[in-house]
């Protein structure tokens, strides 16, 4: 019977039959005797091909296992790497305000990543150990063969172990998935990111700050306000400040300005599903937002905002 497209219901795409690897048995199959040609003879070739593949693949394992020998020194290597990183961080971030906090935080993350890799490697090796374990059926079969043909013929064998079964397959797949989940969870730890921020702050213009300070000095010590400083202040604004009144809205632009400070680098991270934490990476020379506190007899009095 020729392979071809199968019939389908109206509106459904036509499905094509998958080509058979094993031909259908023809006439005479009920009279088959050992040694006669048969459609299932392709299984003999398939068994030989798979045996060759099995031997080729297995022959590669000793080389891979031998390569793992160098990892016997992992504890010593990890200690040396950790010490080198700690020394580097101490020098690299020596001019930072939070040098100790930065060094401790980055060491924590490096150690978390190293621990994650070890846990992933451990899970992978345990998975390999489980996958490479001997077939538990084979030792029993060898014992039966050693006892003679009679014992083999009368032996009771768990046929699921010979033929395979969906149940056993599901159990194996579940074990593999569990190991892979462990590896994925381990590798997902120990990650953070660097965030750059700018801060916008409103402040009193420096020239106005100087003028207020000069007015207070004049009142307290009799030192006159410098003429050049008075020229920088609009007369209307100067009258408002000297009268100790609130700054009217139309004069606010002469008094206040918005300044952008930064950049401020932060290292941020999240632990599990918890809050986001941060440590500043800013150095000791970073410019911080100014906060001018108005004191003395004369001061800038902002008009109260309506709510």
Q: Please, which pLDDT band fits residue 211 given cuts at 50, 70 and 90?
A: very high
DSSP one-letter code for 223:
P
- Average pLDDT estimate for 217-226: 90
Is the model's pLDDT at 2 over the cut of 50?
no
Is the model's pLDDT at 61 over the cut of 70?
yes
Percent of the chain past pLDDT 70, that is, above it, reads 80
In whole angstroms, give the CA distance from residue 237 to residue 226. Answer: 17
* pLDDT of amino acid 253: 92
Write the pLDDT tens digit of every residue in 233-259.
Answer: 999 999 999 998 889 999 999 999 988
Angle at 180 between CA 179 and CA 183, to 5 degrees: 90
Write the pLDDT tens digit of every residue in 144-164.
Answer: 677 776 666 666 666 655 665
- Average pLDDT estimate for 195-205: 87
Beta bridge partners of 277: 269
Angle at 173 between CA 168 and CA 174, to 5 degrees: 95
């Amino acid at each position: 019977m020729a392979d071809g497209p199968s019939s389908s219901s109206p509106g459904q795409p036509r499905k094509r039959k998958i080509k058979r690897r094993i031909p259908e048995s023809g006439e005479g199959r009920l009279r088959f005797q050992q040694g006669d040609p048969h459609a299932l003879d392709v299984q003999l070739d398939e068994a030989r091909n798979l045996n060759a593949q099995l031997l080729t693949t297995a022959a590669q394992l000793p080389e891979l296992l031998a390569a793992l020998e160098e990892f016997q020194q992992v504890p010593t290597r990890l200690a040396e790497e950790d010490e080198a990183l700690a020394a580097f961080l101490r020098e690299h971030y020596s001019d930072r305000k939070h040098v100790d906090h930065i060094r401790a935080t980055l060491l924590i993350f490096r150690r978390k990543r190293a621990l994650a890799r070890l846990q992933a490697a451990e899970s992978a090796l345990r998975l390999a150990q489980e996958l490479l374990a001997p077939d538990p059926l084979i030792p029993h079969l060898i014992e039966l063969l050693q006892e003679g043909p009679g014992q083999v013929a009368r032996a009771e064998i768990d046929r699921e172990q010979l033929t395979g079964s969906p149940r056993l397959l599901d159990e194996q797949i579940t074990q593999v998935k569990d190991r892979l989940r462990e590896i994925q969870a381990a590798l997902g730890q120990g990650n953070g990111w660097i965030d750059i921020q700018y801060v916008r702050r409103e402040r009193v213009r420096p020239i106005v700050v100087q003028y207020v300070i000069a007015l207070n000095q004049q009142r307290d010590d009799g030192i006159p306000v410098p003429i050049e400083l008075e020229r920088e202040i609009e007369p209307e604004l100067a009258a408002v400040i000297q009268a100790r009144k609130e700054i009217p809205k139309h004069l606010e632009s002469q008094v206040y300005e918005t300044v952008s400070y930064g950049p401020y680098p932060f290292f941020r991270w999240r632990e599990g599903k918890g809050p986001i934490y941060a440590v500043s990476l800013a150095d000791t020379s970073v410019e911080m937002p100014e906060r001018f506190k108005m004191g003395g007899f004369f001061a800038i009095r902002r008009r109260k905002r309506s709510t």
